[in-house]
Amino acid sequence: MSLSPEQVKQVAHLARLSLPPEKVEPYARQLSNILDMVSQLSSASTDDVQPMAHPLEMVQRLRPDAVSEENRREAFQAIAPAVEDGVYLVPRVIE
Amino acid sequence: MSLHELSLRELGDGLRAKKFSSRELTGHYLGRIGQHDKALNSYITVTADRALAQADAADKVLAAGAGGALTGIPLAQKDIFCTSGVKTSCGSKMLDKFIAPYDATIVQKLDAAGMVMLGKANMDEFAMGSSNETSYYGPVKNPWDLERVPGGSSGGSVAAVAAGLAPIATATDTGGSIRQPAALTNLTGIKPTYGRVSRYGMIAFASSLDQAGVVARSAEDAAVVLQAMSGFDPRDSTSVERPVDDYSSGLGASLKGLRIGLPKEYFAEGLDPGARACIEAAIKVFEGLGASVREVSLPSSPLSVPTYYVVAPAEASSNLARFDGVRYGHRAEGVHTLEELYKRSRGEGFGAEVQRRIMVGTYVLSHGYYDAYYLKAQKVRRLIYDDFRRAFGEVDLILGPTAQSVAFKLGDKTDDPVAMYLNDIYTIAANLAGIPAMSLPCGFHQDLPIGMQLMGNFFDEGRMLNAAHQYQQATDFHRRRPKAFA
């Protein structure tokens, strides 16, 4: 399995990663090597095997629908890169 | 004996007998960090003031005749655990300025047990690595040979403990990140059963695989701290509601009748003859202690590495989506659109290995590839799990190598991700299955430590720790220390 530089750019876009142009080719080579290694999986016979998402046979635990956490808005916003008047700042989205 | 040579039990006895105070003990360790850590780079942050304040508080408790086995004993916390008011970097530029606003559950628990945090241990970025060379804060050196890696991702934790810069350290293990570095630095490291230790406040890498544990100088030391870390936590949705066994009180049992399985796939091609010789000698020691040994088979284990490198990156790509440059973490300057903010913040904040794994994960989860990669890997994961289920019908513990050989040289594998990934060939299966596993010292090859791995059935940490303890009563490999850090 080999990934072309174009595919790497597309994956990086989906993952919201900016890649400098000089890194695209090395990433394409490395990711292709990783996918080659991973392709050994196709040798396993998995007909009728149930996929396993998680090691514990458990269902999601439920809790009473009651407030359990205190509001720590100020503490959490204190570590944000840019806030003003209690809201997070981002570049303008709507012109 | 110097303070940094004492076991946790000896430290606890000394503190209660007033032979030394926690302040003196903490000061001794801080002094050693100041003296030696330039050579090792095992700590990202040293929290000297906080440590001395915790030590003074512990001394007050001890003076009142109160406190437990861990009161006043220092430790290093892997920098993956959130520590309120203290930088929690996860080894990444992304979190270089991140001051955690809350404590991880295990930090709370160990604080409550009276332990003294010396600082935050270096690690591979977001725990992705097997050599501690992906850290934004630079590589950690192996105290046994400064030209070699300490293993990863818990490289700072093991280097600190092996060099006597902490008596014990916390660590995490997603595919071998406790066991492989423990093996490479002559330590005892245990990854408990998935769900045994809370993941709350432990920065997520691959949530169905991540588990916290400890690296220590003996199984006895590991048992007492693992005990204090373990237990149900309602804040972790996969925490298991089940009482914790008393690991320390189980450390006296005879190994007579213990059935140990040797997976033939773990002794096949690829295992260095030097490592093999040490492990074969260890098997004889276990037989001498009354255990019986037989071959078992884990036929799907050769597919562990490919399975892991689909499942772990897939989960990582999802977990690391939270780093958006908006709420916390690195934010790029001079951007004009929201998309550019995301892309540049993540492009600048994440190192190459993290970016590779995010891209692999994104790819295997993307439309058209999901069935061929992700679903297929989940099915093979079931086969790996079933192998262990079958084997534990025949034996109580499984024994094999932890790593293929001794620690490799810094820079040897940094250009070849796949070669780096194969370091975890013996450790990954336990994470995929969710079972507990540990590494302990079993000899030396070319003056470098070799570790062996024990794997147990679900929640059988106590049996595993006792087997390791009995072995350590019969051998002295675990007592050897790197000469440069005496």
Residue A92 pLDDT class (50, 70, 90 cuts): confident
Counted domains in chain B: 1
CA B426 to chain CA mean position, Å = 15
Q: Which of B327, B344, B434 sits opposite A55 (nearest CB)?
A: B434
Those residues whose C-beta lies under 8 Å from the C-beta of residue B230, and which sit 6 or more positions away, are B192, B196, B197, B244
B417–A30 C-beta distance less than 8 A: yes
Name the residue in chain B with its Cα closest to that of A79. Answer: B328
What pLDDT, on a 0 to 100 scale, did the predictor assign at position B383?
A: 98
Measured between CB atoms, does A31 come within 8 Å of chain B?
Answer: yes
**How many pairs of residues across A and B have Cβ atoms under 8 Å apart?**
169
Residue B349 with chain A: CB contacts under 8 Å: none
Which residue out of B22, B153, B157, B405 is catalytically annotated? Answer: B153
Helix (H) or strand (E) holding B170: strand B169-173
Report the mean per-residue pLDDT for chain A: 93
Measured between CB atoms, does B355 come within 8 Å of chain A?
Answer: yes
- E strands, A1-95, are 83-84, 87-88
Domain ranges of chain A: 5-42
What pLDDT, on a 0 to 100 scale, did the predictor assign at position A95?
A: 73
What pLDDT, on a 0 to 100 scale, did the predictor assign at position A61?
A: 85
C-alpha–C-alpha distance, residues B199 and B2, integer Å:
35
Q: DSSP per residue over B259-318, as a string?
A: EEEEEGGGGSTTS-HHHHHHHHHHHHHHHHTT-EEEEE--TTGGGHHHHHHHHHHHHHHH
The answer to whether residue B18 is domain-embedded is yes
Give how far B372 is from chain A: nearest CA, Å.
Answer: 8
The answer to whether residue B369 is domain-embedded is no
How many C-beta atoms surround the C-beta of residue B313 within 10 A? 28
Those residues whose C-beta lies under 8 Å from the C-beta of residue A38, and which sit 6 or more positions away, are A1, B306, B309, B310, B364, B373, B377
Q: Which of A23, A49, A55 sits opposite B194 (nearest CB)?
A: A55
B418–A37 C-beta distance less than 8 A: yes
Name the residue in chain B with its Cα closest to that of A38. Answer: B306
Measured between CB atoms, does B433 come within 8 Å of chain A?
Answer: yes
For chain A, the C-alpha Rg in angstroms (whole number) is 22
Measured between CB atoms, does A88 come within 8 Å of chain B?
Answer: yes
Chain B interface, mutation test: which of A1, A16, A54, most B Cβ atoms within 10 Å?
A: A16
Name the residue in chain A with its Cα closest to that of B320. Answer: A15
ipTM above 0.90, yes or no: yes
Omega of the bond leading into B153 within 30 degrees of 0 (cis): yes
Q: Which of A54, A79, A81 sits opposite B208 (nearest CB)?
A: A54
Measured between CB atoms, does A59 come within 8 Å of chain B?
Answer: no
Assigned token pair, B347 = 């492009």
* Phi and psi torsions of B102, nearest 5°: -155, 170
What pLDDT, on a 0 to 100 scale, did the predictor assign at position A59?
A: 84
For chain B, the C-alpha Rg in angstroms (whole number) is 21
What pLDDT, on a 0 to 100 scale, did the predictor assign at position B467?
A: 98
Measured between CB atoms, does B484 come within 8 Å of chain A?
Answer: no
B78 is catalytic: yes
- CA contacts within 13 A on the Cβ side of A70: 4
Asked whether B125 and B96 are in contact (CB, 8 A), the reply is: no
Give how far A15 is from chain B: nearest CA, Å.
Answer: 6
The answer to whether residue B374 is domain-embedded is no
B331–A55 C-beta distance less than 8 A: no
DSSP conformation class of B167: S
Which residue out of B130, B177, B239, B304 is catalytically annotated? Answer: B177
What pLDDT, on a 0 to 100 scale, did the predictor assign at position A57?
A: 80
β B397-401/B259-263 pair status: parallel
What pLDDT, on a 0 to 100 scale, did the predictor assign at position A2?
A: 86
β B211-216/B169-173 pair status: antiparallel
Of B159, B177, B218, the C-alpha closest to B5 is B218
DSSP conformation class of B16: H
Residue A28 with chain B: CB contacts under 8 Å: none
Q: Which of B195, B338, B343 sits opposite A18 (nearest CB)?
A: B343
Give how far B368 is from chain A: nearest CA, Å.
Answer: 13
Assigned token pair, B382 = 């079931």
Measured between CB atoms, does B194 come within 8 Å of chain A?
Answer: yes
Strand partners, B439: B189, B453
A76–B195 C-beta distance less than 8 A: no
Residue A46 with chain B: CB contacts under 8 Å: 376, 379-380, 383
The answer to whether residue B295 is domain-embedded is no
Structural domain including B201 reads 3-258+396-485
What pLDDT, on a 0 to 100 scale, did the predictor assign at position B47?
A: 98
The answer to whether residue B76 is domain-embedded is yes
Asked whether B240 and B196 are in contact (CB, 8 A), the reply is: yes
Asked whether B221 and B441 are in contact (CB, 8 A), the reply is: no
What pLDDT, on a 0 to 100 scale, did the predictor assign at position A37?
A: 96
Give how far B356 is from chain A: nearest CA, Å.
Answer: 7
Residue B324 with chain A: CB contacts under 8 Å: 16
Asked whether B193 and B461 are in contact (CB, 8 A), the reply is: yes
Measured between CB atoms, does B419 come within 8 Å of chain A?
Answer: no
- Which residue carries 């994470």 as its tokens? B431
B177 is catalytic: yes
Q: Which of A20, A30, A79 sits opposite B98 (nearest CB)?
A: A79
C-alpha–C-alpha distance, residues B94 and B221, integer Å:
34
Torsion sign over Cα B462, B468, B470, B472: negative
Whether domain A5-42 has CATH 1.10.20: the reply is yes
- Distances in whole angstroms, Cα of residue B313 to Cα of each of A43, B31, B305, B332, B358: 21, 40, 12, 24, 6
- Distances in whole angstroms, Cα of residue B21 to Cα of each of B3, B28, B46, B57: 11, 11, 20, 11
B162-B163-B166 Cα angle (round to 5): 80
Task: Supply the CATH number for residue B112's domain.
Answer: 3.90.1300.10
Asked whether B472 and B443 are in contact (CB, 8 A), the reply is: no
Q: Which of B98, B327, B359 sits opposite A88 (nearest CB)?
A: B327
Asked whether B102 and B121 are in contact (CB, 8 A), the reply is: no
Assigned token pair, B250 = 């189980």
What pLDDT, on a 0 to 100 scale, did the predictor assign at position A69?
A: 86
pLDDT tens-place values along chain B, 486 residues long: 799 999 999 999 999 999 999 999 999 999 999 999 999 999 999 999 999 999 999 999 999 999 999 999 999 999 999 999 999 999 999 999 999 999 999 999 999 999 999 999 999 999 999 999 999 999 999 999 999 999 999 999 999 999 999 999 999 999 999 999 999 999 999 999 999 999 999 999 999 999 999 999 999 999 999 999 999 999 999 999 999 999 999 999 999 999 999 999 999 989 999 999 999 999 999 999 999 999 999 999 999 999 999 999 999 999 999 999 999 999 999 999 999 999 999 999 999 999 999 999 999 999 899 999 999 999 999 999 999 999 999 999 999 999 999 999 999 999 899 999 998 999 999 999 999 999 999 999 999 999 999 999 999 999 999 999 999 999 999 999 999 999
